[in-house]
Structure 1
Amino acid sequence: MTPDPTPFPLDHLAIRGAPDAPALTAGTETLTYADLEEEVGRTASALLSRRLNAGDRVASWMGKTKLACILPLAAARAGLVHVPINPVLKRAQARHILSDSGAKLLLANEARLASLEDGDRSGVELLVLEHWDASGEALGPSKRDPEDLAALLYTSGSTGKPKGVMLSHANLWLGAISVAHYLGLGPGDRTLAVLPLAFDYGQNQLLSTWAAGGQAIAFDYLLPKDVVSAIGRHDVTVLAGVPPLWIQLAEADWSKGQGATLRTLTNSGGHLPETVFRKLRSLFPAASVHLMYGLTEAFRSTSLDPSLADEHPDSVGKAIPFAEVMIVASDGSEALPGREGELVHAGPLVAQGYWQDQEKSAERFKPAPASSRYGGTAVWSGDRAVRGKDGLIRFRGRDDAMIKVSGNRLSPTEIEEAALSSGAVRDVIALGVKDERLGQAVRLIAVADGESAEDRLRAYFARELPAYMQPRDIVWVDALPISPNGKVDRAALVKEHA
């Protein structure tokens, strides 16, 4: 059965479950759906009391607090646009997101706010999480147009700084309904939300659970054993992860019976090695493993039926509900089975483009192929894939130079700019190299500027960049190769070093 394709204002997810059923656990507090509805309404009202207008951007920069979980719905109810900033990002990345989005308000804990400099705060009201008060009268469910903008999720492109992907109420609502449907989520499910809420995959942990009337358990962890303990403590039934986390969990100690309640495991953000998939199937024989593919610009594209995973662990399956996924040949026609082409996604999950970047939007968001049943605008992913004669899609590689570390898409240009800003290098190229645990790791090919260059560069990166952007390797050279057109010969470096 196909789920109902009718979109609603996003904040209506707060009332999908039974009023007295548990909806959210954050820290030591558990909210029922009645509590969630009340908290969403009060938070929406408190936001509007800050003299914000419809369409204004509200940024959050914090771990998985109760407020962080509620803000996607509360901002939507208030007619505002939520801009979540990954809590692992540091000042420079937060400054870019604040500036680019034009955020009028930033909610963060005191330590993060203190890291900002005067120039970072221009035009932004800062609110300390520890002083946040939402004790006023609650705002009722909204009647927003589902096509209104609800969120900006920042994702890196192949060049330059991260770009804000514009997601409407309809994008997020239908994404939640789609995932809840094909995962078979229900009111009895308990989802351990371990992924960052600034990711579409991470935020959907909450939204799809609430769409099904289940319980989301917000959880920040330091070590894999913390996840194992939390799964046992909360009798978790649903867990979403990226390959590096699954690799760690496959190696963890489950000897005390934790994980016996798991029934649904999902992977996206990169290919899950078959050896890890087999280990997970062995550890959790009662759990279905969903192997998926997605991109922020269209939220989620495909999922493999778990009943086929044992036989086809190399596949990412078929299009999910509300998605049309095509493999397009270079001439624009649908590629024949077994022939490689570009993966193109059409339908109502496609985002509205990149925030204030018409040029980049035009490169990625283009008219759907003539064969599309949805038509309209499609996301041309730049990813290469093949649809087999069995109808299953298999990922082949990426057209661009993106580096994907632990499910995070990194722009080589952003890493290179950071290296140059350190003053330790004169010239540099960032490449992605295969890494068994991370999917890919960053390798720098650099020309030193002065003595102790490596020590200075690593100290700068440790101070200014999150851990997943740190280079695993630095290869020092006297000069970077130059191609006939006068540019750095990246292709030659890739051939030699990646």
Structure 2
Amino acid sequence: MISINPTPQPLDHLALRGEGSASALLLREETLSYDTLNLRIGLLAHWLTINGLVHGDRVATWLPKNETTCLMPLAAARAGLVHVPINPVLKRAQVAHILADSGAKLLIANRSRLATLIEGDTPESCAVIEDDAAMAAWKAGAHSMAPSAHDPHDLAAILYTSGSTGKPKGVMLSHANMWLGAISVASYLGLAADDRTLCVLPLSFDYGQNQLLSTWAAGGAAAPLDYLMPRDVIKSCARHHITTLAAVPPLWTQLVEIEWPAEVIGTMRRLTNSGGALSPALVKQLRGIFPETRIFAMYGLTEAFRSTYLDPALIDGNPTSIGTAIPFAEILVVNDAGADAAPDEEGELVHAGPLVAQGYWQDDVRTAERFKPAPAFSVHGGMAVWSGDRVRRDAQGLLYFVGRRDAMIKSSGNRISPAEIEDAATSTGLAAEAVALGVPDPQLGQAILLLVRPAQVAQPAQLVDDLMIALKRELPAFMLPRTVELFDSFPKNPNGKIDRALLVAQIEERFA
């Protein structure tokens, strides 16, 4: 069990926290001890620097969960670089935006992904190296870089997350943000050196990346997994004697429908959930399979990593609560008058403390909208993240999610920008106007409904099919609409813009 220490260190020092000969990374082809993990982090870090990258340069990875992907967060940090992990399910348009916006100087990706890029997708200043070649080169290196002495407040990573308008924006995370996040989660989960974590979530997500970092903070072993079928998760749990499994509600919904072997249930110490609320029915199903396992419900936002967790002892009686503040976080509920909300009064969730990110990369306007001084009644003070999420706190201090203030769609653990889907639809030439909305879905949290005013096309009867075919070429699967509805016209507000609020109200009536 680790102890809480609020003094951050350079991020790459997380690899030093395990016993040298103990298992640290359980790869498909081999198991790395902590000694080997540190050696290879140093080899990769040195290779990055001899390839012309200098302090503060951005290095992007667009890969499945292989050794490079797992080591890069610490190797880039050790080399004084900034890691930009790209979700492997994204397609060329989103990748091109991230590379251009971040100013990445190097992209490492596998052959199949690189083959999808076209001329202009990678900036001229960005070198591109295929992963097999890169891995062969850095593993053959003769020099391993020693642990760094970087300022913990230096930038260590840029994680791209969707906004309610426009393209994805890069959240800037320092060594301290990520170090304290790892220590915080390892502490409240009670992780220990004999724990084994199955890492099924994308390592481009803060929640996914923390699977690795919090496990290493406790000196445990992490097993990365890219699964095709839910049953693969159970098989990997059995193979690696997994004690800790993190997932999002859609995956839990699939996993509770499969039979779990008794030996897998017996080794599982904790289940963790974020990226959407667990329903009371799903909590009951999980409890039926794992009667002795601790179930952690959590809430987070990339701009502050993680905000709250619910004590597992309370989840059966309070299955819809998002709990209380995690270590190092101060969570405030600010009512519409700007004051501390009273018990059961709705307000905006505001996160203050050292987990707050450094803002959005090269975007002062959107940074100023979300990152603002903490309210006067904050104990910590300083800069805070004003989440836009509406919550309430009950008389016992437990928080409950009420809803989002903005138009973001939350589906299968992904934050999705309606504007990205709308732009993709109108760019096909098949939609004159488009509005993307999230509608309730028991498995996904929200499914995507796309409302379309058709353009003048030669074969209008085929418009919906043609539109879906075009969108599949441009958008990852999690951003594709489940349903497309055609409108002759959209209601407009006094400014002549589409009256999104009215459309939302009309759609909500269907699900009331």
Q: Distance in 2 between matches of 1:2 and 1:336?
A: 33
Q: Residue 210 of structure 1 aligns with which residue?
A: 216
Q: Distance in 2 between matches of 1:109 and 1:256?
A: 38
Q: Residue 91 of structure 1 aligns with which residue?
A: 92
Q: In terms of mean alpha carbon deviation, does 453-462 or 408-417 score higher?
A: 453-462
Contact 1:11 1:77 in 2 (8 A): yes
Matched, 1:464 2:466: no
CA deviation string 1:23-63 (max 9, x = no partner): 00122211000000001000000011110110000000000
Contact 2:197 2:243 in 1 (8 A): yes
For 1:12-31, list aligned pairs within 5 A: 12-31=13-32
Q: Residue 46 of structure 1 aligns with which residue?
A: 47
With normalisation by structure 2, the TM-score equals: 0.96
2:304 maps to a residue whose letter is A
Contact 1:107 1:127 in 2 (8 A): yes
Q: Residue 148 of structure 2 aligns with which residue?
A: 142
Q: Distance in 1 between matches of 2:230 and 2:355?
A: 32
Q: Distance in 2 between matches of 1:45 and 1:79?
A: 11
Q: Residue 174 of structure 1 aligns with which residue?
A: 180
Q: Distance in 2 between matches of 1:232 and 1:285?
A: 18
The one of 127, 130, 151 equivalent to 1:128 is 130
Q: Distance in 1 between matches of 2:408 and 2:388?
A: 10
For 1:396-415, list aligned pairs within 5 A: 396-415=402-421
Q: Residue 491 of structure 1 aligns with which residue?
A: 501
The one of 140, 155, 158 equivalent to 2:161 is 155
Q: Residue 326 of structure 2 aligns with which residue?
A: 320
**Change in 2 beyond 3 A, CA 1:330/1:400:** same
SS in structure 2 at match of 1:217: strand
Q: What's the offset of the Cα at 1:2?
A: 6.8
SS in structure 1 at match of 2:322: coil
SS in structure 1 at match of 2:265: coil
With normalisation by structure 1, the TM-score equals: 0.99
The one of 474, 478, 487 equivalent to 1:477 is 487
**Change in 2 beyond 3 A, CA 1:186/1:2:** closer
Q: What's the offset of the Cα at 1:333?
A: 1.1
Q: Distance in 1 between matches of 2:493 and 2:365?
A: 27
Contact 2:17 2:219 in 1 (8 A): yes
Q: In terms of mean alpha carbon deviation, does 327-336 or 97-106 score higher?
A: 327-336
Contact 1:232 1:259 in 2 (8 A): no
Q: Distance in 1 between matches of 2:338 and 2:262?
A: 54
Q: Distance in 2 between matches of 1:340 and 1:84?
A: 36
Q: Residue 389 of structure 2 aligns with which residue?
A: 383
Q: In terms of mean alpha carbon deviation, does 140-149 or 122-131 score higher?
A: 122-131
Q: Distance in 1 between matches of 2:362 and 2:122?
A: 20
Q: Distance in 1 between matches of 2:223 and 2:469?
A: 36
Matched, 1:309 2:351: no
The one of 164, 167, 170 equivalent to 2:170 is 164
**Change in 2 beyond 3 A, CA 1:255/1:18:** closer
Structure 1 gaps of 5+ residues are: none
Q: Distance in 2 between matches of 1:401 and 1:23?
A: 41
Structure 2 gaps of 5+ residues are: none
Q: What's the offset of the Cα at 1:485?
A: 2.3
Q: Distance in 2 between matches of 1:2 and 1:130?
A: 39
Q: Residue 370 of structure 1 aligns with which residue?
A: 376
Q: Residue 400 of structure 2 aligns with which residue?
A: 394
Q: In terms of mean alpha carbon deviation, does 447-456 or 211-220 score higher?
A: 447-456
Q: In terms of mean alpha carbon deviation, does 255-264 or 292-301 score higher?
A: 255-264
Q: What's the offset of the Cα at 1:255?
A: 4.6
Q: In terms of mean alpha carbon deviation, does 453-462 or 356-365 score higher?
A: 453-462
Q: Residue 271 of structure 1 aligns with which residue?
A: 277
Q: Residue 463 of structure 2 aligns with which residue?
A: 453
Q: Residue 425 of structure 2 aligns with which residue?
A: 419
Q: What's the offset of the Cα at 1:256?
A: 5.9
The one of 422, 431, 437 equivalent to 1:431 is 437
Q: What's the offset of the Cα at 1:277?
A: 0.7
SS in structure 2 at match of 1:433: strand
Q: What's the offset of the Cα at 1:260?
A: 2.3
Once the two structures are aligned, what percentage of the paired residues are identical?
58
Q: Which runs of 4+ in 1 moved over 2 A?
A: 255-260
1:102 maps to a residue whose letter is G
Q: Distance in 2 between matches of 1:65 and 1:472?
A: 31
Q: What's the offset of the Cα at 1:233?
A: 1.3
2:339 maps to a residue whose letter is S
2:477 maps to a residue whose letter is A
Q: In terms of mean alpha carbon deviation, does 487-496 or 429-438 score higher?
A: 487-496
1:112 maps to a residue whose letter is R
Contact 2:242 2:264 in 1 (8 A): no
Q: Distance in 2 between matches of 1:484 and 1:2?
A: 57
Contact 1:225 1:253 in 2 (8 A): no
Matched, 1:298 2:304: yes
1:36 maps to a residue whose letter is L
Aligned pair count reads 498
SS in structure 2 at match of 1:252: coil
Q: In terms of mean alpha carbon deviation, does 420-429 or 34-43 score higher?
A: 420-429
Q: What's the offset of the Cα at 1:258?
A: 3.0
